[in-house]
Amino acid sequence: MCTRSQESFDNRMDKEKEQEIRQEKEEKDDARISEIGQVTLDNNEKQYRIHLLNIIGEVEGHENSNASQKTTKYEHILPQLAMIEDNKDIDGVLILLNTVGGDVEAGLAIAEMIASLSKPTVSLVLGGGHSIGVPLAVSADYSFIVPSATMMIHPVRSGGMFIGVIQSYRNIEKIQDRITTFVSSHSKLSKERMETLMLDTSQLVKDVGTMLEGKEAVEEGLIDEIGGIKDAMKKLHDMILNKK
């Protein structure tokens, strides 16, 4: 009787301890989501550990954006990506995008980091993947877009100060070339076709460029497939399994 009582007590204590650990993890996850919009997903049936990375609002660069704007800060994202690469327990990365674009240098830095990860990566465009959001979307190993999402391709603008018109043009041209080269090397969209879409004058009333809806982005070869979170997770699980 004493042994059974002890076993019952031990089992109850183990369950309470498990509950405490689970609750503590949930609180930490909630805090991370609130602070930087990131969390590790590990309750799936295959027990893969997937890092969820959100890129939302404006991609913030060296200067702070308006306090009322939703932003993604590259000084938060870059260390997280380095941590992901260094963490042997993380199996893959799921990137959710709904961005209006933002700082070109910061956006390209994040895109290059994602593209250089050794872990399988899948991106999902929700809402919008505009401007510098385009290279961010294609930086993953495989990309999805929901049917209602849009992607805007337009020429690079510069808010900085340069000396002379020719110098300004050459600087913008080089920045634009870096973007088109990156996108064409990480998608099925050719560099020439992207430049054509950038300079289209027939779509945007007050601007130059092209707005692609979900299906059009796939047809152009910019994004791999139409799909939602279920499709993105399944693809990432398959990629992780193949790597293992």
The question of whether 62 is a catalytic residue gets the answer no
Catalytic residue among 131, 139, 143, 184: 131
- Strand 121-129 and strand 71-73: the pairing is unpaired
Q: How far apart are CA 216 and CA 44, in angstroms?
A: 32
Determine contact, residues 228/144, Cβ cutoff 8 Å: yes
Indicate the SS3 state at residue 38. strand
- 96-127 burial, b at 16+ Cβ within 10 Å, e below that, comes to bbbbbbbbbebbbbbbebbbebebbbbbbbbb
Is residue 186 part of the annotated active site? The answer reads no
How many other CB atoms are found less than 10 A from the CB of residue 194?
Answer: 23
Instruction: Determine the Cα–Cα distance for residues 64 and 71; give it in Å rounded to an integer.
Output: 9
From 154, 184, 187, 237, active-site residue: 154
The residues carrying an active-site annotation are 131, 154
